[in-house]
Structure 1
Amino acid sequence: MNKKKKKKSLVPFRLNVLFFIVFMLFSILVLRLGELQIVFGEDFKREIERTEAVTVSNPVPRGKMFDRNGNIIVDNTPLNAITYTKSQKTSQEEMLETAEKLAKIINMDTEKIPVRDKKDYWIIKHPKQAKEKITKKEWAQYEEKKLEDKDIYKLQLERVTDEELNSIQGEDLETLAIYRKFNSGYALTPQIVKNKDVTPDEFAAVSENLENLPGVDTTTDWDRLYVTGNTLRSILGDVSSSESGLPKDQLEKYLVKDYSRNDRVGKSYLEQKYEDVLHGEKAKVKNITDKSGKVLSTEVISEGKRGKDLVLTIDMDLQKQVEQIIEEEMWAAKQKYPNTALLDRAFVVVMNPKTGEVLSLGGRQIVKDKETGKPEMRDYAQGTFTSSYAVGSSVKGATILTGYQTGAIKPGTVLLDEPLRIASTKPKSSWKTFGSINDQRALQVSSNVYMFKTAIAMAGGHYVPNKPLPLDYTAFNTMRRYFSQFGLGVRTGIDLPNEMTGFPGADKTPGLLLDLAIGQYDTYTPLQLAQYVSTIANGGYRVQPHIVKEIREPLMENNELGPIIKELEPKVLNRIDMKEEWINRVQEGFRMVMQVGDGTGVGHWKNKTYNPAGKTGTAQAFYDGSDKSKRMTPVTSLSLVTYAPEDNPEVAMAVVVPWAYQGHSGPSINHLIGTRVMDAYFNLKNSRQEPAAENAEIAAEVPAAGNNQ
């Protein structure tokens, strides 16, 4: 019994010991926490308040652009640059002091300083005199809170005299130019002070004096380099400067995407359309600052990555030749023919009819130089899809196919080509009377009357000489609906901004339906014509044209292509609602135009070894160009659509020459341009195949390793 009691008495003792140990541990913990809070608390609090991590993003060079053969056409060129980064607490006086020091080292352009900035600078530099510009009465009103700070400052600005402004000269002006750059940036965001014409001496001097120039740094910046000069320049687009920064009308859109206000972005065409691809991934830097905003240390979070590269569908060798051909033929026509005064532009679109890849977008325009007043040729490639014209008979292939589909005519239908005499209207006829002809012959000789009679049948009309000709006006909608299947009168879908659809005529009187059938009422863009002829060439598929072929990863090596990220595949927008045999019949008619008998293109195209097919166009229109004094002058516009080889098309082309001449005759500039461009395409193709064939022969002659004889 005593042993049991003894054992029981030991249990509470052990529990007491355990409780005591736990109590002591808690006591030590409480004492330690008290020590941290009471003794070192203020130190930790000051440390927390002392530092702050701020992450900023630095821009990187844009992606490059290559043509389809891997030739670089848009690059970045390095620039020595001087930058300034202000802290969150940098005062106006500190920035001005640094600007004064920097002005002694570098030269700055001072011509573009606004008067307002000069006034601000004068007030900063002359605070006492600026204060004296306010009357005692105005200061009293300020004390009474009838005038605010902004009112006082406005009065000071208004009272700064021209003499006082003119006192800002020499180094003071350069200081102001630098100060403006300093003040335009955002806290902890590098702002470019100077990146153009920074001399090696300036760069070295600034680098050596960085300790005395708080916030100033030297770095390597970049500028966009368009390697091929003005070739295709309007399509490549432009990039904003670091000074202009983000476009005001798109500011919020870019800020949401982590852009800085002074970032350079694409402003037009390819640079703008593919901004998200070309812009790249910014380098991210974390700045540790104290409470005053002073940067204590900098940590690189990510190095950043140059923008992705674009490989275009454009063949730059062909593009250069196309532009040269357009220029030469336009100048030659204007020198040789006196009735070409209004001729000021011409367009060529070359594309693969099966894939939609645009091989060349050529557009040239003659404008007067603002300084010299002399005419000069400028790039107007964007006019191939942003301007539209009456194109004439080139669209007759669509008219014939629409006639088949609506039942107005059948394949092989014979109609009498004769002058149409409709009551109260002038006779409407072809350029020559052809008698009884079928659909293919109508295409071959470009019969207007055949198209007129097709349109009349489509609109439920019945032609009787010298009688009125009532027509169902809904035929306008019917014809336009079928034309749109070829891409006429609708957007082609090209991957460039600002594409227009052309202008449909608003009036629906019967005679205008006949004009619509021969391409002399609605207007179309050169690119629409190229899509239309491609649709006929490839058997009825309207393929979306595109100018970007691939998006690739950037490589550090100069001018080398990286791995493919995305390849733009051909996209079929629609299959025309017409039978294959009908399309084949129009294809044969197009072949006859270029290669058979008295076809309208035979004189220029018959002996071409690449077997072309196509359709010519002449439109009687009115001038509506830039010379307002000549508006509504009757003119003749020319066009041409073609593809080759006719049995297996690999290339399609549209040529449009608006307002080619006045009067009844003039230069066949559409054919002169067209034949030279198509020749250039096949000559380039053959010249590239010959070295490849030679290399293959050489490789075949070299004995395989280990088989030396």
Structure 2
Amino acid sequence: MVEKKKKKKKAQLPFRLNILFFIVFLMFSVLIVQLGVVQILNGEDFQKEIDRTIKDTTKIPVPRGKMYDRNYNVIVDNAPLYAITYTPPKGVQAKDRLDVAVKLSEFISMKDEDGEFINRITDRDKKDYWYLLNEEEAKSRITVEEAAEMDSGEEYSTIMSRITDEEISNFTEEELEVIHIKKELDKAFSLTPQIVKNVNVTPEEYAKVAEHLDELPGINATTDWDRDFPYGDTLQNLIGKITDQSEGILADNEDYYLTRGYSRNDRVGRSGLELQYEELLRGRKEQIQYTTKKGKVIDSETVVEGKSGKDLVLTVDMELQKQVDEILREELKTAIEKHPQGNRYMDDALAVMMNPKTGEILAISGQRYDRKENDFKNVSFRTIYDAHQPGSVVKGATILAGYESGVIKPGSSFRDSPIRIGGDEPKGSWTTGLGVLNDYGALRRSSNVYMFYVALKMGGENRYPFPNGETARFNPDAFREMRNYFAQLGLGVKTGIDYPNEATGVKGTLLKAGLLMDYAIGQYDTFTTLQLAQYVSTIANDGYRVRPRLLKEVREPDSTGLGSIYQSVNAESLNRVDMDQSLVERVQEGFRQVFQTQGGTAYSYFKDKEYNPAGKTGTAEYEFTDEDGNMVYTLNLTLVGYAPFDDPEVAFAVVVPKTGRGVSQQHPINNVIGTRILDAYFELKEQRAGNNQDDETEETDEESDQNNDE
């Protein structure tokens, strides 16, 4: 019985094997059929896909345009730098970038000369690195149930939050180097070069990377550039800044730049003229088309030649600019050293020089004294952005407002005697005993009272002399009317300068008779130094207000020197004051008397000048609360002018805020600066004329010698 069972089991074993063999046979048959389908029906398509080449275009940034001064001296250039860049191919993953970072760390250092890392990394950067090294461990920290309720971004963030501080606190210096490099690689966009390092790249680093490019997919050793300033910090703050490679385009205007062909890591003008003329300075990127096959680049072709940005020729005369900067520093330092206590709040001196007929800015200077560092800083931009009460320099505008409104006529006279409205303190001039003055005398002697009567009459108060202690009749519309006349001259409105975010000053909101009187002598609304320069230029230019500008020409880039003219910028008249030419001429004459006639407030400084100057002095009382909560009483000292009187070629404005009360008479810094910068302008002009004459003489002598030889 037992033997029969054994035989039966032996008989069943081959049958099972047969079934197994049959199943295997069917599987192989299916595979063979499927292989046949792939080879016969789809083989050609698959082969085409394998052989298919992909063409992608990448854009390479070019250097920005240079800047020149009006005499074609380079003031902003491009300095070449070694640079290591990364251009990620399509489909690159975080693991791939990590591999590149590890390999690249063998050839470059992300530290500066002091051994500190160039850029900062965060805990998140460290966690990203730890995650890539410990991916399975990291993913185990979130349950299947948790993951089911999250999208991929939430899941990753949750994992990051569960990586402990201890786990990322003990990286070696080599690992930190890799993290720094990978952070730069992660910033890159597909087929767009990203700077990995362009600061302190040594020739050795550059050479090593260049030798191992085949081991570093996406990495390139190339050249970058940075802005270079041959004149140092002279005018540099007005020229402005560009973003660095790590910043790229400005986030606030990302859409604006992207729609104009920029990449996210392109450097753009951040401020000043770099921002104002970004479209001209940016240039045209070089476009290279790469052909890839089986994921490898097999060919490249330049489809669009790169072209540097256009060069700008500015209106500024850098030799004059340097002299004006130095004059402001010297006089500011002298005033502070002579009266350290009285001038302890004085720290700025501002000046603008421009051609009143063309609006060309010849020099634009701001100097700030840093008491803690005992040094000066260039702050030229403050001539455009900072507004101050200007004092009596605006009295020319007040006289013109009085003429045009009909409240005074040429030759109208008033006795200079203090005026008291109601219970207010009396308002008078800077000194007593000025007597009866007409419009010329009011400007020459800088009478406040004369301007007070203009303001009162414009407000509807016609009593003269005004009965002291009584309430003045006043129509608040007089503020609007007088401000309108001032605006025609450039005060309280934008000058139109080609510079970002120009300030217009602050308008007082209270509308009272006494405050309009203050406005008429420049002690209510505030104006910028540039507005004052445009104002005096308008008077010098027979009432034509010209747009001030910093750009003279645009030139095509040329590696050998100055390129051909792309665009010339012409003078632009914004408006002409709405009044008769003869009235403007009376103010011009009044300004001439200020500088050139006995009794003029600037006569002692300009009486002997051969360049025939004219202008107006100013002093405004300025009160503010200091850091200790104390009320401080200071003066803003100002001066405006132009020369020559009969054919103006230069106009200027000087503002020195917060000078000490009393010490201003011992060192009237506004008048000293005004004298020195006009002297500098005409001395420079004479010097250049002499040099030109010498050149012409040499050419004539050479021609004479040549003729004699012949």
Aligned pair partner of 1:125 in 128, 133, 137: 133
Give the whole-Å Cα distance in 1 for the aligned partners of 2:630 and 2:189.
52
Match of 1:417 in 2: 416
Which residue identity lines up with residue 645 of structure 2 in the other structure? E
Calculate the TM-score normalised by the size of structure 2: 0.89
Match of 1:443 in 2: 443
Q: CA deviation at 1:281?
A: 0.3
Shift in CA distance, 44/125, structure 1 to aligned 2, threshold 3 Å: closer
Aligned pair partner of 2:362 in 342, 353, 359: 359
Checking the alignment, whether the CA contact within 8 Å between 2:84 and 2:222 is kept in structure 1 is yes
- Alignment of 1:139 onto 2:151: no
Checking the alignment, whether the CA contact within 8 Å between 2:421 and 2:514 is kept in structure 1 is no
Match of 2:674 in 1: 674
Give the whole-Å Cα distance in 1 for the aligned partners of 2:209 and 2:507.
63
Give the whole-Å Cα distance in 1 for the aligned partners of 2:430 and 2:85.
69
Shift in CA distance, 192/353, structure 1 to aligned 2, threshold 3 Å: same
Which residue identity lines up with residue 579 of structure 2 in the other structure? M
Which residue identity lines up with residue 104 of structure 1 in the other structure? E
Shift in CA distance, 293/623, structure 1 to aligned 2, threshold 3 Å: farther
SS at match of 2:261: coil
SS at match of 1:633: strand
Match of 1:251 in 2: 254
Give the whole-Å Cα distance in 2 for the aligned partners of 1:515 and 1:146.
71
- Alignment of 1:196 onto 2:195: no
- Alignment of 1:322 onto 2:324: yes
Which residue identity lines up with residue 426 of structure 2 in the other structure? P
Checking the alignment, whether the CA contact within 8 Å between 1:617 and 1:639 is kept in structure 2 is yes
Give the whole-Å Cα distance in 1 for the aligned partners of 2:80 and 2:398.
55
Which residue identity lines up with residue 64 of structure 1 in the other structure? K
SS at match of 2:542: coil
Aligned pair partner of 2:557 in 554, 566, 587: 554
Checking the alignment, whether the CA contact within 8 Å between 1:85 and 1:185 is kept in structure 2 is yes
Shift in CA distance, 572/630, structure 1 to aligned 2, threshold 3 Å: farther
Give the whole-Å Cα distance in 2 for the aligned partners of 1:146 and 1:508.
65
Which residue identity lines up with residue 670 of structure 2 in the other structure? N
Checking the alignment, whether the CA contact within 8 Å between 1:613 and 1:643 is kept in structure 2 is yes
Q: CA deviation at 1:344?
A: 1.3
Q: CA deviation at 1:157?
A: 2.1
Shift in CA distance, 542/632, structure 1 to aligned 2, threshold 3 Å: farther
Once the two structures are superposed, residues 632-685 of structure 1 have per-residue CA deviations (whole angstroms, 9 ceiling, x without a partner) of 522111100010111111100000011111357553010111111111111111
- Alignment of 1:387 onto 2:386: yes
Once the two structures are superposed, residues 157-209 of structure 1 have per-residue CA deviations (whole angstroms, 9 ceiling, x without a partner) of 22333332222121111111111121210112111111111111111111111
- The 10-residue stretch of structure 1 (588-597 or 422-431) with the greater mean CA deviation from structure 2: 422-431
Give the whole-Å Cα distance in 2 for the aligned partners of 1:631 and 1:253.
47
Q: CA deviation at 1:140?
A: 3.9
Shift in CA distance, 665/703, structure 1 to aligned 2, threshold 3 Å: closer
Match of 1:235 in 2: 238
Checking the alignment, whether the CA contact within 8 Å between 1:354 and 1:543 is kept in structure 2 is yes
- The 10-residue stretch of structure 1 (417-426 or 60-69) with the greater mean CA deviation from structure 2: 417-426
Checking the alignment, whether the CA contact within 8 Å between 1:87 and 1:294 is kept in structure 2 is no
Give structure 2 stretches of 5+ with no counterpart.
1-39, 112-116
Q: CA deviation at 1:91?
A: 2.7
Give the whole-Å Cα distance in 2 for the aligned partners of 1:465 and 1:261.
69
Checking the alignment, whether the CA contact within 8 Å between 2:342 and 2:663 is kept in structure 1 is no
Give the whole-Å Cα distance in 2 for the aligned partners of 1:293 and 1:506.
69
Provide the aligned C-alpha RMSD in A: 1.9
Shift in CA distance, 554/474, structure 1 to aligned 2, threshold 3 Å: same
- Alignment of 1:65 onto 2:64: no
Which residue identity lines up with residue 468 of structure 1 in the other structure? T
Match of 1:618 in 2: 619
SS at match of 1:554: coil
Aligned pair partner of 2:502 in 493, 499, 502: 499
Aligned pair partner of 2:218 in 211, 215, 219: 215
Match of 1:312 in 2: 314
Shift in CA distance, 154/46, structure 1 to aligned 2, threshold 3 Å: closer
Match of 2:698 in 1: 698
Q: What aligned pairs does 1:483-498 form with structure 2 within 5 A after superposition?
A: 483-498=486-501
SS at match of 2:103: helix
Checking the alignment, whether the CA contact within 8 Å between 1:623 and 1:630 is kept in structure 2 is no
Checking the alignment, whether the CA contact within 8 Å between 2:359 and 2:571 is kept in structure 1 is yes
- Alignment of 1:649 onto 2:648: yes
Give the whole-Å Cα distance in 2 for the aligned partners of 1:68 and 1:140.
71
Checking the alignment, whether the CA contact within 8 Å between 1:622 and 1:631 is kept in structure 2 is no
Shift in CA distance, 556/664, structure 1 to aligned 2, threshold 3 Å: closer
Shift in CA distance, 447/39, structure 1 to aligned 2, threshold 3 Å: closer
SS at match of 1:629: coil
Q: What aligned pairs does 1:411-560 form with structure 2 within 5 A after superposition?
A: 411-432=410-431, 433-461=433-461, 462=463, 463-557=466-560, 560=561
- Alignment of 1:46 onto 2:49: yes
Match of 2:37 in 1: none
Calculate the TM-score normalised by the size of structure 1: 0.90
Aligned pair partner of 2:105 in 103, 123, 126: 103
Q: What aligned pairs does 1:401-416 form with structure 2 within 5 A after superposition?
A: 401-416=400-415
Shift in CA distance, 46/466, structure 1 to aligned 2, threshold 3 Å: closer
Shift in CA distance, 630/662, structure 1 to aligned 2, threshold 3 Å: farther
Shift in CA distance, 585/148, structure 1 to aligned 2, threshold 3 Å: closer
SS at match of 1:623: strand
Once the two structures are superposed, residues 250-275 of structure 1 have per-residue CA deviations (whole angstroms, 9 ceiling, x without a partner) of 00000011101000000001000100
Checking the alignment, whether the CA contact within 8 Å between 1:90 and 1:293 is kept in structure 2 is no
Give the whole-Å Cα distance in 2 for the aligned partners of 1:151 and 1:524.
54
Q: CA deviation at 1:613?
A: 0.5
Q: CA deviation at 1:227?
A: 2.1
Shift in CA distance, 320/408, structure 1 to aligned 2, threshold 3 Å: same
Give the whole-Å Cα distance in 1 for the aligned partners of 2:663 and 2:553.
47
Give the whole-Å Cα distance in 2 for the aligned partners of 1:675 and 1:335.
20
SS at match of 1:607: coil
- The 10-residue stretch of structure 1 (157-166 or 635-644) with the greater mean CA deviation from structure 2: 157-166
Match of 2:661 in 1: 662
Give the whole-Å Cα distance in 2 for the aligned partners of 1:472 and 1:101.
80
- Alignment of 1:589 onto 2:593: no
Give the whole-Å Cα distance in 2 for the aligned partners of 1:277 and 1:44.
49
Count of aligned residue pairs for this structure pair: 658
Shift in CA distance, 631/65, structure 1 to aligned 2, threshold 3 Å: farther
Give structure 1 stretches of 5+ with no counterpart.
1-36
Which residue identity lines up with residue 491 of structure 1 in the other structure? K
Checking the alignment, whether the CA contact within 8 Å between 2:367 and 2:379 is kept in structure 1 is yes
Match of 1:31 in 2: none
Which residue identity lines up with residue 346 of structure 1 in the other structure? A
- The 10-residue stretch of structure 1 (402-411 or 631-640) with the greater mean CA deviation from structure 2: 631-640
Give the whole-Å Cα distance in 2 for the aligned partners of 1:497 and 1:212.
47
Once the two structures are superposed, residues 461-504 of structure 1 have per-residue CA deviations (whole angstroms, 9 ceiling, x without a partner) of 02223322112221111100001000000000000011111111
Give the whole-Å Cα distance in 2 for the aligned partners of 1:540 and 1:600.
24
Match of 2:24 in 1: none
Shift in CA distance, 564/630, structure 1 to aligned 2, threshold 3 Å: farther
- Alignment of 1:113 onto 2:108: no
Give the whole-Å Cα distance in 2 for the aligned partners of 1:472 and 1:150.
66
Shift in CA distance, 703/316, structure 1 to aligned 2, threshold 3 Å: closer
Match of 2:23 in 1: none
Q: CA deviation at 1:226?
A: 2.1
Checking the alignment, whether the CA contact within 8 Å between 1:623 and 1:659 is kept in structure 2 is no
Give the whole-Å Cα distance in 1 for the aligned partners of 2:695 and 2:635.
50
Give the whole-Å Cα distance in 2 for the aligned partners of 1:634 and 1:470.
31
Q: CA deviation at 1:537?
A: 0.6
Checking the alignment, whether the CA contact within 8 Å between 2:596 and 2:606 is kept in structure 1 is yes
Give the whole-Å Cα distance in 2 for the aligned partners of 1:579 and 1:444.
22
